[in-house]
Structure 1
Amino acid sequence: MISKSKVLVTGANGLLGTNTVLDLIKQGFLVRAFIRHKRYISRFNHSNVEFCIGNIVNIETLERAMLGCHYVIHIAALIDPKHLDYDEFELVNVTGTKNVIQVAKNLGIKKVIYVSTANAFGFGSKCDLGNEQKPIRPPFNKMPYAMSKLMGQEFVLSQSHEIDITVVNPTFMIGAYDSKPSSGRIILSCLRSRVVFCPPGGKNFVCVTDVSKGIINAMKFGKRGEAYLLANENLSFFEFYKKVRFHSKKSFLIVRLPKWVVLAVGYIGSALRTLGIKTPISKANTGALCINNFYSNSKAQTQIHLTFNPIDIGIQEALAWFSEKNWKNGGI
Structure 2
Amino acid sequence: MKVLITGGNGFLGSNVARELFRRGYEVKLMMRDTADASVVADIPCEIYHGNISNQEEVLMAVKGCDYVVHTASITQQWAVTFKEYELVNVRGTINVVNACLQHGVKKLIHISTANTIGPGNRVKPANELNSFTLLHVNSGYINSKYIAQQYVLEQVERKNLQAVIVNPTFMIGQYDAKPSSGKIILHGINKRWFFYPPGGKNFVHINDVCTGIANALEVGKIGDCYLLAGENLSYKEFFKLLNSVAGQDPAMVRIPQFVLKMIGIMGTLVGVFSKTSGKLTYSSAYMLCLYNYYSGKKSERELLIKYTPIEKAIGSALAWFKENNYC
Question: Do they superpose with TM above 0.5?
Answer: yes
- In structure 2, distance between residues paired with 1:8 and 1:262: 40
8 Å CA contact retained: 2:66, 2:106? yes
What is the 5 A alignment of 1:183-202?
183-202=181-200
8 Å CA contact retained: 1:119, 1:140? no
- In structure 2, distance between residues paired with 1:67 and 1:241: 45
2:121 corresponds to: 125
Shift, 1:106, TM fit: 0.4
Which of 10, 20, 31 aligns to 1:14? It is: 10
- Alignment-mate amino acid for residue 248 of structure 1: A
- In structure 1, distance between residues paired with 2:19 and 2:211: 7
2:95 corresponds to: 99
Shift, 1:287, TM fit: 1.0
1:284 corresponds to: 283
Shift, 1:48, TM fit: 4.1
Shift, 1:43, TM fit: 3.0
- In structure 1, distance between residues paired with 2:2 and 2:179: 28
2:38 corresponds to: 42
Shift, 1:47, TM fit: 7.1
What is the 5 A alignment of 1:130-279?
130-138=126-134, 141-161=137-157, 162-275=160-273, 276-279=275-278
- In structure 1, distance between residues paired with 2:86 and 2:190: 34
8 Å CA contact retained: 1:266, 1:282? yes
- In structure 1, distance between residues paired with 2:264 and 2:55: 38
Q: Which runs of 5+ in 2 are unaligned?
A: none
TM-score (norm 2): 0.95
- In structure 2, distance between residues paired with 1:42 and 1:279: 28
- Alignment-mate amino acid for residue 244 of structure 1: L
1:90 corresponds to: 86
State the Cα deviation string for residues 218-265 of structure 1 (Å, max 9, x = none): 111110101000011000000000011111112321111222211221
Shifted more, 193-202 versus 165-174: the winner is 193-202
Shifted more, 204-213 versus 273-282: the winner is 273-282
What is the identity percentage for the equivalent residue pairs of Structure 1 and Structure 2?
39
8 Å CA contact retained: 1:174, 1:206? yes
- In structure 2, distance between residues paired with 1:44 and 1:201: 34
Shifted more, 181-190 versus 249-258: the winner is 249-258
Q: Which runs of 5+ in 1 are unaligned?
A: none
- In structure 2, distance between residues paired with 1:279 and 1:288: 16
- Alignment-mate amino acid for residue 22 of structure 2: K
1:296 corresponds to: 295
Are residue 324 (structure 1) and residue 320 (structure 2) matched? no
- Aligned-residue CA RMSD (Å): 1.5
Shift, 1:273, TM fit: 2.1
Residue 113 and residue 107 in structure 1: after superposition, are their counterparts in 2 closer, same or farther (change >3 A)? same
Residue 104 and residue 296 in structure 1: after superposition, are their counterparts in 2 closer, same or farther (change >3 A)? same
Structure 1 moving runs of 4+ over 6 Å: none
Shift, 1:97, TM fit: 0.4
Residue 137 and residue 8 in structure 1: after superposition, are their counterparts in 2 closer, same or farther (change >3 A)? same
- Alignment-mate amino acid for residue 122 of structure 2: K
Residue 221 and residue 232 in structure 1: after superposition, are their counterparts in 2 closer, same or farther (change >3 A)? same
- In structure 2, distance between residues paired with 1:97 and 1:8: 14
Residue 277 and residue 61 in structure 1: after superposition, are their counterparts in 2 closer, same or farther (change >3 A)? closer
8 Å CA contact retained: 1:171, 1:230? yes
State the Cα deviation string for residues 43-78 of structure 1 (Å, max 9, x = none): 334674111000111122212211111000000001
- Alignment-mate amino acid for residue 129 of structure 1: P
- In structure 1, distance between residues paired with 2:298 and 2:127: 8
8 Å CA contact retained: 2:4, 2:65? yes
Residue 321 and residue 193 in structure 1: after superposition, are their counterparts in 2 closer, same or farther (change >3 A)? same
- In structure 1, distance between residues paired with 2:113 and 2:93: 14
Shift, 1:38, TM fit: 5.8
Are residue 70 (structure 1) and residue 69 (structure 2) matched? no
8 Å CA contact retained: 1:140, 1:288? no
- Alignment-mate amino acid for residue 246 of structure 1: S
8 Å CA contact retained: 2:135, 2:143? no
8 Å CA contact retained: 1:140, 1:284? no
- In structure 2, distance between residues paired with 1:115 and 1:227: 10
